[in-house]
Structure 1
């Protein structure tokens, strides 16, 4: 379980996350939503230890995040940032193999190669496996980075805007893959997401933020309702139910 207790973070004199407490439900997809500047990415980075909190504590499986050994944390939690670049010219296969580094320390065995192949198949990247990253489109490159994260084979997966650069078909395929990881392998996935309808259809829980504070943390169907979304985003919403999912019209 991920427990978040009274954490805060400020830049200069402004709090971007302010005294936030909640728990992330295991074996589910939780989407973090909210308007720009709400503190979503900062929260995700603090959970992953990429950004230190100034107060409060984050507890991963009963242990304070500061007390985790770096190598062991890498076997427990995988993080994909919003912007991903590499200074080395790599093929898709080489990039995905980096996901096995916490387990193999660069010496791939048969189990590592099996997991890499599974990640390639999950993300439908077989035809690109020997291509260099700079030969791929933005969407293809994004899929390769997510395959690397999947190959890390951790209990927790943290993703910051994973649908960036993906077209509609690839975005749907991506979210279905994440649902399958939860269903088949009991992964716990936390995603910073802007698209409220993808969030409504594919997440189990929503953590909603505004001005650095927690507004709602509840099952998805309890958050994707007119009154709560209008307070969160300060704009009108019309909501229709399609296939038992609340779909938002806000144009």
Structure 2
């Protein structure tokens, strides 16, 4: 008995028409200008049942399913069964002791290739040069540019001239300014691993040059007590006289803030003063 019931249930499911998705059911109904009440009256259910079918909470069964499918045109809109896949192309068959045979016979016989004489082969080989097996490397690795030295040279080219002008404004002495800049870059090269990774390499060298130029031990040197002749331009002479009249700490602060263009926090940090 149970086998008969299972067979009958399976046959009914197989014969039941396919239904589209709930969203598609509503679209088909609205495309036919049918209301939920009209569909419910035609199928013999309530409006709430139709709404449940279109929201996916339930699905019609049995004769109501068939009537509902015919009403919204789901039977006609059902997609056609997919076409059977095309047969795979023939695979070439290899016979032992021979080359692979083609899937179909050629329409025309293939002409054998003409064999060139040895002289023609040698002439063609002489025209086309042979490609090198590996790309040529550096002929002399010893002449490769040194990365630290190149970076140090770039820093010197960028900052040396400006540092000389700044230290001259601090000291009023060209010889002392030149010595301060030279000593600062010598110290930077000795400690280059530290300077190379510093956030501000120019600031590192500038601080070293300022410290050397404004050291009180340098001012005790008799050679560094005498100032150089003042500039000929009146404006430059007035500026230098005003700077040299200030205490060294004020002088350095003015050069950093107004000359170099550092902000107040950066100037205070470099002069070890508070803002």
Per residue, is there more strand in 1 or in 2?
1
TM-score by length of 2: 0.18
TM-score by length of 1: 0.19
RCO higher in structure (CA 8 A, sep ≥6): 1
Per residue, is there more helix in 1 or in 2?
2
Larger radius of gyration: 2
